[in-house]
Amino acid sequence: MSFLIDTDIIIYALKGNEIVQKHFSKNANAVKALSLVTYGELLFGAHRSQQHTRNMAIVRRIASLFPVIEVDMPIMETFAEIKASLLQKGRPSDDMDIIIAATALVNNFVLVTNNERHFSNIRGLEIENWAKA
């Protein structure tokens, strides 16, 4: 099984959340990656932090540990399909979340997130919450 790790799960791991760390340990041999969106969100958080230099180094280290999946045409095609479907159902969602979901779907990854509500309306998307025991 391969996992796309969402921003919140990375932050929980950095803060020492034991449940998240246990899931990372349990899945140590599994493929784990980040969306380019998650990388951007982590960079944004580092830029806004009071420990800018330290946190930028941490984000760059994370990007060296996990492959960062670029946004390409198949991901954007899937994004457009998901967004249109959600709007048609009257369930709009944040574009960045849809891109993360599209990245997981196109690459056959399970999305690991604590924001299950943000992603639960996306058909075919498999989700695991590593913040839960």
CATH number, position 96? 3.40.50.1010
Domain contains 43: yes
Q: How many domains does the chain have?
A: 1
Query: Is residue 14 packed enough to be buried (19+ CB in 10 Å), middle (13-18) or exposed (0-12)?
Result: middle
The fraction of the chain above a pLDDT of 70, given in percent, is 100
What is the phi-psi region of residue 90: left when phi exceeds 0, alpha when psi lies from -120 to 50, beta otherwise?
left
Does residue 24 surpass a pLDDT of 90?
yes
Domain contains 133: no
Domain contains 14: yes
Lowest mean pLDDT across 64-73, 97-106, 115-124: 115-124
Domain contains 87: yes
Quote the distance between the C-alpha of residue 22 and its chain's center: 18
Does residue 91 surpass a pLDDT of 90?
no
Domain contains 20: yes
Does residue 93 surpass a pLDDT of 90?
no
For the segment 1-28, the average pLDDT, to the nearest whole number, is: 96
Q: Could you tell me the residue range of the domain that residue 72 belongs to?
A: 2-128
Domain contains 85: yes
